[in-house]
């Protein structure tokens, strides 16, 4: 059984797809199509940045779709890769839209519009600098929920956002609450390490000041 999986937010980087753009006319055509549909030079933002603008979710989302679709078309049309045997087209959150486009379930132009509007709505919901998230490795979801409930107080806004896998949980909330949680988790990590336990607790922090790293739904 074959499946094709498309990436979500967090995979974006200035210059992504640049080699494909330089070598294949079909990529140039798709990038131009995206520019025209969005009515702004998303292609220049993808290829040249600046990074701070690319990281804004209202730009990130159509940018990743554009690059994903362009690479797919190169594989399909230029290298004549046969996807007919692929049973599943799937995506990591935002990547679901790329999967829909590449499986001919959604038109590229329609997806560009949807993601632009989706990104704007997400950007407005969390103004710059107000939100944050942390990936916690090595703790069970039930433990994290119990910990959050034990420290909840007025203005503490912090919840489990995604249960990615065993031992990998994403927690998000307002910036101050996530920072407080980080201190608690670091203290917990030190206690675990001091007992020389085989168990480890690790943190990966991302301040969502307009930048989103999507995780598994």
Same-domain status, 137 and 107: no
Same-domain status, 116 and 161: no
Domain that includes residue 196, residue range: 131-207
Same-domain status, 40 and 94: yes
Q: Angle between the 57-73 and 25-38 helix axes, to the nearest 10 degrees?
A: 150
The answer as to whether 214 is a domain residue is no
The answer as to whether 216 is a domain residue is no
Q: Which of the four pLDDT bands, split at 50, 70 and 90, describes residue 210?
A: very low
The answer as to whether 212 is a domain residue is no
Evaluate if residue 1 carries a pLDDT over 90: no
Q: Determine which one of 93, 98, 132, 177 is catalytic.
A: 93
DSSP characters over 146-179: HHHHHH--TT--EEEEEEEETTEEEEEEEHHHHH
CB 139 within 8 A of CB 65: no
Same-domain status, 20 and 118: yes
Picking from 124, 155, 190, the residue at the C-terminal end of a domain is: 124
Evaluate if residue 205 carries a pLDDT over 60: no
The answer as to whether 10 is a domain residue is yes
> pTM of this prediction?
0.77
Same-domain status, 115 and 28: yes
- CATH number, domain containing residue 173: 3.30.70.250
Q: How far apart are CA 51 and CA 12, in angstroms?
A: 9
Note the pLDDT tens digit of each residue in 72-95. Answer: 999 999 999 999 999 999 998 899
Same-domain status, 136 and 115: no
Q: Determine which one of 92, 132, 177, 213 is catalytic.
A: 213
Picking from 78, 104, 124, the residue at the C-terminal end of a domain is: 124
Same-domain status, 100 and 188: no
Same-domain status, 109 and 141: no
Whole-number mean pLDDT of the chain?
Answer: 86
Same-domain status, 16 and 111: yes
The answer as to whether 34 is a domain residue is yes
Number of domains in the chain: 2
For 132, the enclosing helix (H) or strand (E) is strand 131-137
213 given a catalytic annotation: yes
Picking from 73, 104, 124, the residue at the C-terminal end of a domain is: 124
Residues of the chain with pLDDT > 90: what percent?
A: 55
Same-domain status, 168 and 199: yes
Note the pLDDT tens digit of each residue in 139-156. Answer: 889 999 999 988 877 778
Evaluate if residue 51 carries a pLDDT over 90: yes
CB 108 within 8 A of CB 35: no
Q: How far apart are CA 216 and CA 168, in angstroms?
A: 11
CB 211 within 8 A of CB 126: no
18 given a catalytic annotation: no
99 versus 124: which is more confidently predicted?
99
| Full 3-state SS string of 43-80 | HHHHHHCCHHHHCEHHHHHHHHHHHHHHHHHHHHHHCC
182 versus 6: which is more confidently predicted?
6
């Amino acid at each position: 059984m074959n499946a094709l999986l498309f990436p979500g937010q967090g995979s974006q980087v200035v210059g992504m797809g640049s080699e494909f753009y330089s070598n294949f006319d079909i990529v140039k055509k798709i990038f131009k199509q995206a520019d025209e549909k969005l009515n702004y030079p998303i292609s220049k933002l993808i290829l040249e940045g600046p990074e701070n603008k690319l990281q804004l979710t209202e730009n990130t989302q159509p940018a990743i779709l554009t690059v994903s679709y362009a690479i797919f078309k190169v594989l399909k049309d230029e290298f004549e890769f046969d996807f007919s045997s692929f049973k599943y087209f799937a995506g990591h959150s935002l990547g679901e839209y790329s999967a829909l486009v590449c499986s001919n379930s959604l038109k590229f132009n329609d997806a560009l519009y949807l993601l632009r509007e989706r990104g704007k709505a997400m950007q407005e919901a969390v103004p710059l600098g107000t939100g944050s998230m942390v990936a916690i490795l090595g703790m069970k979801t039930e433990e994290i929920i119990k910990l959050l409930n034990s420290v909840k107080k007025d203005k503490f806004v912090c919840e489990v956002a995604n249960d990615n896998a065993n031992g990998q949980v994403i927690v998000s909330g307002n910036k101050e609450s996530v920072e407080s949680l980080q201190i608690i988790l670091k203290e917990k990590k030190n206690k675990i390490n001091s007992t020389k336990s085989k168990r480890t607790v690790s943190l990966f922090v991302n301040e969502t000041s307009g930048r989103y790293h999507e995780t598994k739904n």
